[in-house]
Chain A
Amino acid sequence: MGFLDALLGGKNKKVALPAPDRLFAMTTAQITLETSLGLQHKKSAGIVFQPLGTADFQGILAETEELLRGTAEETGTAVTSSEDQYGYRWLILKDEDFEDLVVSLNTISVALQGSGYGDRLLCAVFPFEEKGKPVYFIYNFKRGAYYPFVPAPGDQARDSERELRLQSQIGAELPFEKDVTRWFPLWEIPL
């Protein structure tokens, strides 16, 4: 934000837009995660955004879900939608094929961005499993970067050590969030 914007109380026109799309980097990284690190993808992925209470937005959302169900016949991707306790909407995709998951997530983000609602997108979430424990990779649309999120047993506890190790293990293959203070946790991920 520029000096003048700060002085004038911000541009206030919009919140940050999705950074140039680097979502697809996960497609190749997933192979490394599985073959050399032993992280199994859980055959699902999710995208979370802030639903606007307007007819236009609801219409676009309905169209997008329709579109995904339409292509489901060839890709076999199942879509479900849910709202979390913070009022954010999740679209959950299930598919055996990891690449199809990424493509479908991209369809949703393109549909929202194309109709001008890109700034409502929060994150895409890829759930993995490591020795029975959940490991998430979160893609922050605003920053166009991935970061790991490993919940630990206990109330809102996370395994920062594992997260940092993942950064050094896979950081070269993914556009990684360099600023650790932006590794925001997402609790109660419905995945």
Chain B
Amino acid sequence: MATQQRAIFPRDAGLQVRMLLTLFLLGLLYVALIGALLAAGTGIVLMVVIIGALSFAQLFFSDKLALSAMGAKVVSPQEAPGLHSMIERLCIQADLPKPKIAVADMDVPNAFAVGRSQKTATVACTTGIMRTLSPSELEGVMAHELSHVKHRDVLIMTIASFFASIAATIMQFGFFFGGGDDENPSIIVVLLVSFLVYIISFFLMLALSRYREFAADRGAAVITGRPSALSSALVKISGAMQQVPKRDLREAERMNAFFIVPTSVKGAVQTIFSTHPPIEKRIERLQRLESQLQGTA
């Protein structure tokens, strides 16, 4: 059958170019680091192997850690029938296997996705967000999290941060490797390179994270066909965020990278230090998608 396909949203080339450039810069940076490490010799190679093993383990266990850190419990279809049905339909629409679904009993309205692959993914949300949002808004948020799963964001961010954590470890413990070895001046170079790699990769990682948030917003709009529902969810969540007592925020701080909205909204923190783009920017883009959808753009 001849099927005419109209993409409901055209490709966002600008976003993809920026993401590719960020990945390229990260890669370049890491090549420099590897070069310096090789020059430094065996002690450090061993350390790279150890960190490699740790990162690997992190990929396998971080989802459970993250869930328990948030106090999120996996819920059965009987316990949360509405949430399960909603996600099942989104999965059919997005052509994804159904992830595990977890709920955290806390007032902070938020949602996140964990898991290294599509098959092992878990999407979680707080009871706060279920109370705050309307069904179509919650659907937008869950579609955003499913997009993270579909785009394999946890895997990509873990790999991207692998070398950054090596650089960080060298900075912290590097002196021990060179300790007492006066004939090895290269350790100074390694430390210097590690320092630079750590600083630069820190900002590149944040940039990458922000781009992937935009991509997930876009993915959610494509899955649900309702960009405005996600916009209004973001408005509601960010508004509700500022009213939530500080104590809860601090507990939740560590989880920021996978949240739909970061939990600390201290005015407009300089965007370069942020894992998420500012809400206004995200809404602006979602509204652009809505205009494209309505054919008015």
- Residues on A close to B: CB < 8 A? 1, 6-18, 20-21, 50, 52-56, 85-88, 110, 113-120, 122-123, 140, 142-143, 155-157, 179, 181-182, 184-188
Contact = CB atoms under 8 A, between A and B. Distances in A.
B11 A52 contact: no
Chain B CB within 10 A, most for which of A20, A85, A87: A87
A12 B11 contact: yes
Contact of B225 (A120, A142, A186): A120
A52 B5 CA distance: 16
A80 to B, nearest CB: 21
Contacts of A1: 150
A47 B224 CA distance: 17
B89 A88 contact: yes
A16 B96 CA distance: 10
Contact of A123 (B4, B11, B16, B92): B92
10 contacts: A9-B219, A10-B150, A13-B9, A15-B93, A17-B5, A52-B293, A56-B295, A120-B225, A122-B93, A188-B85
Chain B CB within 10 A, most for which of A55, A179, A181, A184: A184
A12 B135 contact: no
B210 to A, nearest CB: 11
Interface in B41-74: none
Given A53-B226, A55-B294, A114 B216 contact: no
Nearest to A20: B1
B219 A10 contact: yes
| B interface, over-half SS | helix
Interface string B221-261: 01111100000000000000000000000000000000000
A16 B3 CA distance: 13
B132 interface: no
B151 A6 contact: yes
Contact of A10 (B4, B10, B151): B151
Chain B CB within 10 A, most for which of A12, A119, A186: A12
B7 A14 contact: yes
Contacts of B88: 184-186
B6 A116 contact: yes
Contact of A8 (B3, B215, B295): B215
A86 B86 contact: yes
A119 B8 contact: yes
Interface residues of B, number: 55
Contact of B78 (A140, A156, A181): A156
A140 B225 CA distance: 18
Chain A CB within 10 A, most for which of B77, B135, B147: B77
Interface in B145-193: 147, 150-153, 156
A86 B147 CA distance: 19
Contacts of A155: 78, 81
Nearest to B16: A8
Given A116-B4, A185-B88, A9 B212 contact: yes
Nearest to A118: B3
B33 interface: no
B24 to A, nearest CB: 11
A156 B95 CA distance: 22
Contacts of B135: 85-87
B283 to A, nearest CB: 17
A94 B25 CA distance: 60
Nearest to B87: A184
B152 A6 contact: yes
A184 B119 CA distance: 15
Contacts of A21: 1
A2 to B, nearest CB: 12
A148 to B, nearest CB: 15
Contact of B1 (A52, A113, A119, A182): A113
A181 B77 contact: no
Nearest to B208: A9
Nearest to A56: B295
B127 interface: no
